[in-house]
Amino acid sequence: MSSTNILVAAIDRLEAFVYAPQPHILWPGRQETPPNTGMWLQPKMFGNEPNDIAWDNDGCVDTRGFFQILVYFRPGQGQIAPSELADALIAWFPKGLDLGPVRSKQTAVAVTDDHRGRKQVVHPCDGFV
């Protein structure tokens, strides 16, 4: 298993996310522009160097990293709607959720970045492969 497997599992989970109104998702590696109105999401995967805890080639490897979803919103929209969307995303990726070969490590935290019109929702993951 690789970080690609983790990314695919996280993206599959995000694609199944249902919310009203459904936010547009700007997928990694695609040439897309944000919508003119409403909120939109931008997912990113940040893999860390795996921790190889065994000397031999057939030992387990501790795979670590985090999946981040940026919730973008337009100025003047206020904080409530983006906060509710971030809360829904946190609930959609609960602690212990299987993401391919790893599990979501802890409850995600939404970090407010008011001056840029975004919230960061971070989902750490960890697991032995």
Instruction: Give the up-direction half-sphere exposure of residue 112: CA atoms within 13 A in the CB hemisphere.
Output: 10
Close Cβ partners of 23 (under 8 Å, ≥ 6 residues apart)? 38, 39, 40, 41, 71, 85
Whole-model pTM: value is 0.78
Return per-residue pLDDT of the chain as tens, 129 residues: 566 777 788 888 899 999 988 999 998 888 788 888 889 998 887 766 666 666 666 666 666 677 888 888 888 877 888 889 988 988 888 888 877 777 777 666 677 666 567 777 776 666 554
Q: Give the pLDDT confidence score for residue 25 in this predicted structure.
A: 92
Class for domain 3-30+37-52+61-128, per CATH? alpha beta
Closest CA to 43 of 75, 17, 21, 62: 17
Q: Can you read off the two tokens belonging to residue 21?
A: 């109104």
Closest CA to 109 of 122, 126, 124: 122
Domain borders along the chain are 3-30+37-52+61-128
